Structure 1
Amino acid sequence: MELYHNDMSVCAQKVRVTIAEKNLSPIEHHLNLGAGDSHTPAYLQLNPKGVVPTLIDKGRVIVESTVICEYLDDAYPEIPLRPSDPFERAQMRKWTLVPDAGLHLWCSTVSFAIAWRHQDRSEQMKKWTPQVRAERLEAINSGLDAPLVKPHLHNYVGVLKKMGEALRSNTWLTGGSYGLADIAMLPYVCRLDDMAQNWIWEESDDMRPITDWLERCRSRPGYAGIARHYNTAVVANMKQHGEQAIDKVRELLSTD
C-alpha cells in the first residue's frame, strides 16, 4: 500500500486518520503542494486532477478522499468505521458528503483569506484552473475583505451548528460509535482550531458540544494521522495570522 499525500491537506488528513484507525502502514510519499509536486507528469498519471490524496493498494489506484475512506473500510473490515444498521449508515453518508457538497470549498476560501495568503503559492498557482485561480486570488489579494469570504464563512459555521445539534444527544455524529462521519468532519474542525478560530464553537451554546467531541477524537489512535504529520512551523504561522483575524471574523459572523 502506498499513499501520496500532503501534511496539512484536510483531504489527506481524513484518509490518514482512517488508515491509523485500521493500524495500516502504507509507504508514504509527501507532496509539496506549494512547489507544484501534485502536477508533475508522473503524479498526474495517477491522479489526473492533480490533488491529494491518492492511494495505491495491491497495484490499484484509488482517488477522492471520501471514496478512499469507504474503500479502506471495505477492504480492511476488521476494525469497522461504518454503522451496520442501514439507516445509521445512511446518516453517516449524509456527513461524509458534506465536504464534497461545499464544505471543502468554504474551508479553502477561509484558509486562504486568513493564513495561506501569507505563503508563497506562485508555483502552485500556475497549475490552478482559471476558475480556482480567480476565486483564490481574491482571497489572497483581499484577505477577509474578499467578496466570497463572508458567505463561505457563514456556510462553514452553518456546518458547525449542525454538528453541535447532532452532538447534543450523541457521543459521535451518527450515534454511539465513532466512524467515517466523525473522520470526515475532524480535519475541518482542526483547520479552524489551527487558525485560532476555536472560539466560534467554544463561545456558542449551540456549538459547544464540539469542544468535547474534538477532545474525544484527539484521544483516539486515528488522531495520529493528523498529529504525526503536523507541520509545526506552518501551524504556528496559521495561528499567528488567525489570532490577528479574530476581530474581523467576529465582525463578519455578526451580520447576515
Structure 2
Amino acid sequence: MKRFLLIAYVCLIAVGCTTPVQDPELDVVAGTTQIEPEALHLESTITYLKAVTWVNSIGTTWVQVVVEIENTGESPIYLSSGSYDLKDASGSIIASKSYVSEYPRVVSIGEKAYLYDETTLDLPVTGTLTVVPRFNEKKATIQNIRYPVSGVTLVDTAYSGVKAIGSIANTSGEAEDGIIYVVVVLFDAQDHPIGILDDLISDDFPAGAEMGFEATSLSMPDEITMSSVARYKTYAYPHQYQF
C-alpha cells in the first residue's frame, strides 16, 4: 500500500551499489579526565533533526524522530532519557513524548549522540512536522565504557527492514552482568542519520569473551533499505546509571 511520507527535512536517499562503510570503533575508554567541576563547561549543539510520518498497510500512522547532537563543551556529557514535542504546520502540538532513548549515554568531547524514537500517532497528519527536543544532560562522572565491535553486516529482511548482525568483545577486564546496548546508527549519502537499529543483550558478558548481536528496529519507513545506507556507526556499551 502506498505510504504517505511527510518530513521536517527532506532527505533524498542516494541509491548505489557500494557497500555501506562502517566507522572505526573505539576501544574501552578507561575513564573520564579528572577536572575540577567548576572548570568544566557543559554544552551541546543540535546538528540535525527530522520527523518522518507514514501510514502502514493496516492504517496505523507511524512517526520516526531523529535528533543528532554534538558535545561541543569542555566536559564529557551523561544523558538520561530525553523528551520531545511534535508540532504541526500551524504550530500546534500534536504529540509530546517522554522517556525517549538517547544513544550513547556517555558522550565524549566532540562526539555525537542521538535521541531516537519510533512510535505511533493517534491521527494521520498533514504538512511538515517540527521536532522540539529536550535533553537531560549532566557532566559525566562515570567511565565511558565501549566494547569493540567487529564483523558487522547489514541485511534487508522481509518484514522488519534493515538488520545488523555482528559481534562484540569484552576487553574491559571486568565481567558485565547487566544489560548491554548495541546501537547501529545508519547514515545516508548526505551523512544524515536516517535510522537506528539496536539490540539489548541480557546475557552475562565475562571479561575476554565475545558474543554476537542482531540489531533491529521497531518500524522504519520502507524507503530505508541497505541501498540507502552509505555508512553506519556502531556503539556497544553496558547500561550505566549516574546519580
Do they superpose with TM above 0.5? no
Task: Quickly name the TM-score band, shorter chain normalised.
Answer: under 0.3
Q: TM-score, normalised by structure 1?
A: 0.24
- More helix by percentage: 1
**Relative contact order (C-alpha < 8 Å, sep 6+): which is higher?**
1
TM-score, reference length from structure 2: 0.25
Q: Which has the higher strand share?
A: 2
